[in-house]
Amino acid sequence: MISDFPPAAILILGALLVPFFKGKAKNWYVILLPAAAFYLISQLEVGSSWQVHFFGFDLTFLRVDKLSKVFGYIFTLNAVAAFVYAFYLKDNTQHMAALLYIGSAIGVVFAGDLVSFYFFWEVMAVASTFLILGRKTEKAQAAGMRYIMVHIFGGLCLLAGMVIYITETGSIAFNAITDRNLGTYLILIGLLVNAAAPPIHAWLPDAYPEATVTGGVILSAYTTKTAVYTLVRGFPGWEILIVVGCIMTLYGIIYALLENDMRRILAYSIINQVGFMVCGVGIGTIMSLNGTVAHAFCHIIYKSLLWMSAGSVLYMVGKSKCTDLGGLYKTMPWTLIFGAVGALSISSFPGTSGFTSKSLIIDGAIHEHLMWVWLVLEVASAGVFLHAGIKFPYFVFFAKDKGLRPGETNKGMLIAMGFMAFMCIFLGLYPQPLYNVLPYEVPYQAYTFTHVIAQLQLLMLSALVFFLFLKLLKRTETISIDTDWFYRKGGRLFYYVMDKALNGINSVSERIFVGGLAGYLGRVSRDGPTRAAILVMVPAWVIGGAKGEKLAVKKANVRAALRTGTSPIGITAAIATIFLVVVFFLM
Amino acid sequence: MQGEKMRPKKEFDYFDRPENKRKLWIMLYVVCAALVVPDFFTQRHSYFGFDGFLGFYALLGFVSCAVLILFSKLVGLALKAKEDYYDK
């Protein structure tokens, strides 16, 4: 039956065959796989499932409901676009890693139990690392290493939490979690590592900008959004997530404003956008959860589009720092136009998809009378236009002409960007198809006159501030210190302290034990017999009448005899006796 | 490729010309002002008491962005480092 075949298997098994295809056939093949998975997901009936009995557990590799389906749709749709974008790429490793990564992300959203969920979750972490290492630069190697270490940490938190949770509840089912104890908080931390919530977020802006051109596009969509899915599934209505989400929205903006590297700006804006979604999960009403899912859906599209346009620039120019870029509108007009659609979309500009999805979350906050949350989200919405909506396109395509004349990027990239830009505008003008596939049925109308005007006021005044404050925003050739400092510099500091402390202890011990104590013991054991012999013999000689010089000569004779091992039998016997007496007492 | 073909011809440089920059500035101011006009004629629903007044969202956009920029500038003093900071 087609209706109970896990769609993840198409991509994961399909990945194994990639090396057998040559030339363009390889590229068509990798496009076809997610397209087939998309079709399969559209055929899955809500309520169906596929279970396997494994080591005493009933593993549910397929749990179909509206929530898993909507994520399945967008994951496969985005994969098709990403592989069209990567039509120039012949690298087997990157294609296989991407398919495994996307396949296991789909595996996570269709997993009905914690065990299979955890399995796919870890495969994701490993496979995605190869999209970073694929850049083959020293920086990418180091960033990839840090990336996998952080994810191993997150995975261990998750595993520990799951073990506690499963032991307590006796069930491996993965549904909404209501208990609040050590186990569930550990699970939450594990998920928030992947959602890139501060302070455990620095892996994202550290690693994604070091990834390959297409790797960045693919990475931007799956890890954080899979985490959003698991939060919607497992932690709806956990108030702490409102706070976490609000912090994320502002944190991302501040760092994106400081950044110079265009892909790092986009990386920080992922944190900002996921913040809106996490906040929606925390609010936990039907409307805000719908908003989170809708926003994740639209976000994947416009964020991929933004990474695609930045990727095209990197691909053509080989540079990604704002200080090296500028004036590209002259030779890369299509990349600019598509990128600008993505930039407007992420800013929730009326007429684009961000407007029809983010409004659901903000209205969710209003309906619950959460004034501060609403205010933070509105401030953050204005800030998005600042850092992603204007800063990114302005410094890359306009600003100062740096004399770069790369020409437009390749056709595959343009087609993929054109498709994603179309989707942004389509879902912005006609969001009903998206609303239809959301987990809950809530009638919603984003386009009221006052709402559109309010949003336009917010955004246009943000634009005005950007250009008024342009001098303050002048790019500098700098990086920004983030929490990865603790394991990058902090690690070295730790090494330095340990080096000094442990080696200090080492040298002190050497002086005391090797030089001092051992030498003393050596002297004692060498001179011991002589001293003992003299101690015993002297009274005998004194009684025998030896005095002064004669006594000294006798002592010297014994010392010399013992040192050379040529002592008279009597003395040897005496020493042996003393030794035996000592041993006897010691025993 | 397109760029190479275009280069011998006159390059499209609309956004580099000072007179156009001036036009764009004026346009931006006009749009910002025009967006507040509808507030005179419509009554926006106020959810929290203070958010219904005239040009509220315009003010919110302006103030929050100004604060965000100034704040990031401030923390940037402490957080910005040379590019080879981690290589040393």
One DSSP character per residue, A183-195 reads HHHHHHHHHHHHT
pLDDT for residue B64 is more than 60: yes
Give the pLDDT confidence score for residue A86 in this predicted structure: 95
pLDDT for residue A414 is more than 90: yes
Give the pLDDT confidence score for residue A9 in this predicted structure: 93
Give the pLDDT confidence score for residue B9 in this predicted structure: 64
Q: Do A480 and B58 make contact, defined as CB atoms within 8 angstroms?
A: no
Average pLDDT of the segment spanning A400-422: 92
- How far from the centroid of its chain's Cα atoms is residue A40's Cα? 30
Condensed to tens digits (0 to 9), the pLDDT of residues A298-311 reads 999 999 999 999 99
Average pLDDT of the segment spanning A266-277: 96
- Mutation test of the interface with chain B: which of A396, A402, A464, A487, choosing the one with the most B Cβ atoms within 10 A? A464
Chain A positions touching B85 (Cβ under 8 A) are 479, 481, 489
Instruction: Supply φ then ψ for residue A347, to 5 degrees.
Output: -85, 5
Helix spans in A284-410 (H): 286-317, 333-346, 353-367, 371-384, 392-397
Question: What residues have CB less than 8 Å from A88, skipping those under 6 apart?
Answer: A410, A412, A413
pLDDT for residue B8 is more than 70: no
Lowest-confidence segment of A117-131, A183-197, A496-510 by average pLDDT? A496-510
pLDDT for residue A564 is more than 80: no
Whether B53 is in a domain gets the answer yes
Condensed to tens digits (0 to 9), the pLDDT of residues B11-26 reads 788 888 889 899 999 9
The reply to whether B88 touches chain A by the CB within 8 Å rule is no
Chain B nearest-CA distance from A91, in A, is 24
Model confidence at B3, pLDDT cuts 50, 70, 90, reads very low
Helix spans in A86-200 (H): 92-110, 114-133, 138-169, 182-194
The reply to whether B34 touches chain A by the CB within 8 Å rule is no
Question: What residues have CB less than 8 Å from A46, skipping those under 6 apart?
Answer: A64, A65, A66, A69
Give the pLDDT confidence score for residue A587 in this predicted structure: 66
The two three-digit tokens of residue A562, written as one number: 């013992």
Q: How far apart are CA A279 and CA A367, in angstroms?
A: 14
Model confidence at A528, pLDDT cuts 50, 70, 90, reads confident
One DSSP character per residue, A366-393 reads HHTT-HHHHHHHHHHHHHHIIIIIIIHH
The two three-digit tokens of residue A578, written as one number: 């003393």
Q: Do A386 and B71 make contact, defined as CB atoms within 8 angstroms?
A: no
Give the pLDDT confidence score for residue A157 in this predicted structure: 95
Condensed to tens digits (0 to 9), the pLDDT of residues A147-198 reads 999 999 999 999 999 999 999 999 999 999 999 999 999 999 999 999 999 9
Q: How far apart are CA A427 and CA A364, in angstroms?
A: 20
Give the pLDDT confidence score for residue B7 in this predicted structure: 52
pLDDT for residue A549 is more than 90: no
Query: What is the number of alpha carbons within 13 Å of residue A15 lying toward its C-beta?
Result: 17
Among chain A residues, CA nearest to B12: A330
Average pLDDT along chain A? 91
Give the pLDDT confidence score for residue A138 in this predicted structure: 92
Whether B51 is in a domain gets the answer yes
Whether B87 is in a domain gets the answer no
Instruction: Supply φ then ψ for residue A54, to 5 degrees.
Output: -145, 115
For A364, other C-beta atoms within 10 Å of its C-beta total 26
Whether B41 is in a domain gets the answer yes
Q: Do B58 and A489 make contact, defined as CB atoms within 8 angstroms?
A: no
- Mutation test of the interface with chain A: which of B72, B74, B83, B84, choosing the one with the most A Cβ atoms within 10 A? B72
Q: How far apart are CA A261 and CA A574, in angstroms?
A: 86
Residues A133, A161 contacting (CB under 8 angstroms): no
pLDDT for residue A491 is more than 90: no
The string over A232-266, giving b where at least 16 C-beta atoms fall within 10 Å of a residue's C-beta and e elsewhere, is bbbbbebeebbebbbbbbbbbbbbbbbbbbbbbbb
Query: What is the number of alpha carbons within 13 Å of residue A565 lying toward its C-beta?
Result: 0
Q: Do A457 and B86 make contact, defined as CB atoms within 8 angstroms?
A: no
**Region for A111 from its dihedrals, namely left if φ exceeds 0, alpha if ψ lies in -120 to 50, beta otherwise:** beta
Average pLDDT of the segment spanning A266-282: 97
Average pLDDT of the segment spanning B66-82: 93
Q: How far apart are CA A265 and CA A282, in angstroms?
A: 26
- How far from the centroid of its chain's Cα atoms is residue A425's Cα? 31
Lowest-confidence segment of A301-310, A551-560, B65-74 by average pLDDT? A551-560
Chain A positions touching B64 (Cβ under 8 A) are 378-379, 382-383, 462
Chain B positions touching A327 (Cβ under 8 A) are 16
Angle at A573 between CA A569 and CA A578, to 5 degrees: 150
pLDDT for residue A339 is more than 60: yes
- Reported for A553-559, long-range contacts at CB under 8 A and 24+ positions apart, including other chains, are A558/A530, A558/A533, A558/A534, A559/A530, A559/A534
More confidently predicted of A389 and A551 = A389
Chain A positions touching B36 (Cβ under 8 A) are 457
Give the pLDDT confidence score for residue A569 in this predicted structure: 67
Q: How far apart are CA A462 and CA A449, in angstroms?
A: 20
Average pLDDT of the segment spanning A482-506: 84
Whether B85 is in a domain gets the answer no
Give the pLDDT confidence score for residue A336 in this predicted structure: 95
Q: CA dihedral defined by B51, A387, A73, A246, rounded to 10 degrees?
A: -50
pLDDT for residue B1 is more than 50: no
More confidently predicted of B39 and B62 = B62
Q: How far apart are CA A426 and CA A351, in angstroms?
A: 8
Positive or negative torsion for Cα A274, A275, A276, A282: positive
pLDDT for residue A523 is more than 80: no
Question: What residues have CB less than 8 Å from A288, skipping those under 6 apart?
Answer: A279, A280, A281, A360, A361, A364, A365, A368
Domain count, chain B: 1
| Domain range list for chain A | 1-234, 236-480, 489-586
Q: Do A465 and B66 make contact, defined as CB atoms within 8 angstroms?
A: yes
The reply to whether B54 touches chain A by the CB within 8 Å rule is no
Residues A413, A334 contacting (CB under 8 angstroms): no
Task: Please name the amino acid found at residue A288.
Answer: S
Please name every residue paired with B81 in a beta bridge, in sequence order, or none if there are none: A479
Chain A nearest-CA distance from B82, in A, is 5
CA-based end-to-end distance of chain A: 82
Percent of chain A with pLDDT over 70: 98
Q: How far apart are CA A483 and CA A196, in angstroms?
A: 12
Give the pLDDT confidence score for residue A553 in this predicted structure: 83
- Mutation test of the interface with chain B: which of A461, A466, A467, choosing the one with the most B Cβ atoms within 10 A? A461
Residues B88, A270 contacting (CB under 8 angstroms): no
Reduced to 3 states, what is the DSSP secondary structure of residue A53? strand
pLDDT for residue A495 is more than 80: no
Give the pLDDT confidence score for residue A201 in this predicted structure: 94
Among chain B residues, CA nearest to A256: B72
Q: By residue range, what is the domain housing residue B40?
A: 2-79
